[in-house]
Structure formats: C-alpha cells, structure tokens
Amino acid sequence: MTADVTWEARWEHSECGASGEALFPDEHAPDSGHDDCAEPGEIGWYGQWACICGAEGDGDWEDGDTADSGHECADEDELDDEDEGVAA
Ligand SMILES: [Zn+2]
Ligand SMILES: [Zn+2]
C-alpha cells in the first residue's frame, strides 16, 4: 500500500502560460481542469511526493496520466515495533 504518500504537484500549459497546483494521494490522476483552452500542446505536470516514513521523490507526467511514486513503504510494521537492535 502506498496510501501514506502525498503529492504536491503543479501543472503548466506552456502554449498559453496557464498553470495551477494540486495536492492528491499517490496513484491518482489529477485533473488540471484546463480543458477549454484553445491553444494546442500538452499540459505537463511536475510534482514532488513525500511519505510519512520520510521518503520523498519527484516525477513528471502528462495531464490525465496517473502519478505513481513507485514507493513501497517498508516502515509500516516498524512504526509499531521500534526495536533498537544496537545500543551503545
Ligand atoms: Zn492553455
Ligand atoms: Zn514510506
């Protein structure tokens, strides 16, 4: 599960200069809502994701595509079981 990953992303339509921002969970396809534009060209997204475990990264994609961090969080079990194996 990657439900603990949150994206903070920005879209931009370079042909007309419009842009916007969005916050959404991982593995979602955010919608710019910029469908009425008369200008040609693709709307591009660029965003950064962060997980509650502290991992983070970034990515880019075209409008309508799904943003996927590819992050498989390994910390979920460890949160309940903080086993400090090495103590000084
Ligand atoms: Zn536009
Ligand atoms: Zn994580």
Per-residue model confidence as pLDDT tens digits over 27-43: 999 999 999 999 999 99
42 is a domain residue: yes
**Contact 50/56 with Cβ under 8 angstroms?**
yes
Distance 48 CA to ligand 2 centre (A): 14
Ramachandran sector of residue 54 (left: φ over 0; alpha: ψ -120 to 50; beta: rest): left
Q: Is residue 86's pLDDT more than 80? A: no
Q: Is residue 30 part of a domain?
A: yes
Ligand with the closest atom to the CA of 42: 1
Domain that holds residue 40: 5-73
- Going from the Cα of 31 to the center of ligand 1, the distance in angstroms, rounded, reads 13
Instruction: Report how many domains make up the chain.
Output: 1
Distance between CA 27 and CA 40 in Å, rounded? 27
Ligand 2 center–CA 53 separation, angstroms: 4
The answer to whether residue 83 scores a pLDDT higher than 70 is no
pTM of the predicted structure, to 2 decimals: 0.77
Q: How far apart are CA 15 and CA 13, in angstroms?
A: 6
Residue 28's pLDDT is 97
Residue 86 lies in a domain: no
Residue 84 is assigned to a structural domain of this protein: no
pLDDT of residue 74: 81
pLDDT in tens, 39-78: 999 999 999 999 999 999 999 999 999 999 999 988 655 5
